[in-house]
Amino acid sequence: MTFLSPWWLLLLLPVLGLAAAYLLMQRRRARYAVRFATLPLLEKVAPHQPGWRRHAPAAAFLLALTTLGFAAGRPQVDLRLPHEQSTVIVAVDVSNSMAATDVDPNRLEAARTAARTFIENLPDTFNVGVVAFSGSAQVLAAPTTDHDEAAASLQRLEVADSTAIGEAVFTSLDQIASMAANRDDAETPQPSTGSDQGATDGGNGDTEPNQQAPERIPGRIVLLSDGSNTQGRDPEQAAQAASDAQVPVSTIAYGTPDGTIDLGGRQVPVPADEEAMAQLADATGGQTYTATSGDELEAVYEDIGSSIGWRTEPREITPYLAAAAFLFLLGAGAMSLRWFARLP
């Protein structure tokens, strides 16, 4: 919690003084009662003591003043709010190493299942696209809010030679840019013609000077690969392009270190390049993960989904504290009237 006007918190000092004075008065009252009356006599005169009820109205009153003191400082907290819209590109490696069976039943089938669940669980307002990459990158599904269509495109994943991680990022960025361009074209006001133009721009043909550009819809790339870049543009170039476009790339290094595939009768190791995946994510502000099984991969996708659907914004909570203080004061008055037939 932070405060926009922290100096107003000094108002809490008089509240502390008032609380200390109340405690002091209670101690003096107790000593006075013991001094001028015997305990058996007090029990006969006042057999039913108010006990904790005597202090409840005062406690509520002091709590109300404390809450008002904090409200005066204009506190704000970071709230986690859902994105109303976003464009998410799911990029899946389909190089030959995805046929490895170190993940049951094989890497490709487990990736297909996990990616489908990830897409189906994204918010309905999100645009989702699918990119497959091996020696080149191919768009299987352009970004769309039809998540069933995007998930169905995963059935067309087929293994091929080489791995072009950089090309996958560039192709995904193109899809996100295309969505942004289409949205801007749809929301840009069309210039008026004839007499309407003269009324809006003063007759000189200029556009309105105070028109605001549409708010940028956030984009995110979720890239899964089980190998290292062997073809196409370097992932470092792709990372720079994604960083310039303010598009985080979350990466998943997939497969076990002992995974192999059969090439011409010999077993070839196909470990994931975890270091390269981490560098790509770090350079773009994304998250990096490793997954060595189908269950781990589903958990990774679930974690990514819970993070990209939300944003953190500071929100001032002064009105809520003021309302709470009002309720505390109301409670103090109600308790005092109910138990002592007077206001505090």
Give the closest residue to 154 by CA, choosing from 217, 86, 105, 224: 224
pLDDT digits (tens, 9 = 90+) for 265-296: 889 999 988 999 999 999 999 999 999 999 99
* pTM of the predicted model over 0.85: no
- Average of per-residue pLDDT values in the chain: 83
pLDDT band, very low/low/confident/very high, at 334 (cuts 50, 70, 90)? confident
Long-range contact set of residues 272-275: C-beta below 8 Å, sequence gap at least 24: 272/225, 272/226, 272/227, 272/228, 273/225, 273/227, 273/228, 273/229
Q: How many helices (H) and strands (E) does the chain have?
A: 11, 11
pLDDT tier, 51 (very low <50, low <70, confident <90, very high otherwise)? low
Residue type, 251: T
Spatial distance between the Cα atoms of 300 and 20, rounded to a whole number of angstroms: 54
Cα 336 to Cα 155: distance, rounded to the nearest angstrom: 70
CA 146 to chain centre: 23
- At 194, the pLDDT band (50, 70, 90 cuts) reads very low
**Mutual angle of helices 274-284 and 165-187, in 10-degree steps:** 30
| DSSP label at residue 208 | P
Average pLDDT over every residue of 87-92 = 96
pLDDT at 89 over 50: yes
pLDDT at 309: 63
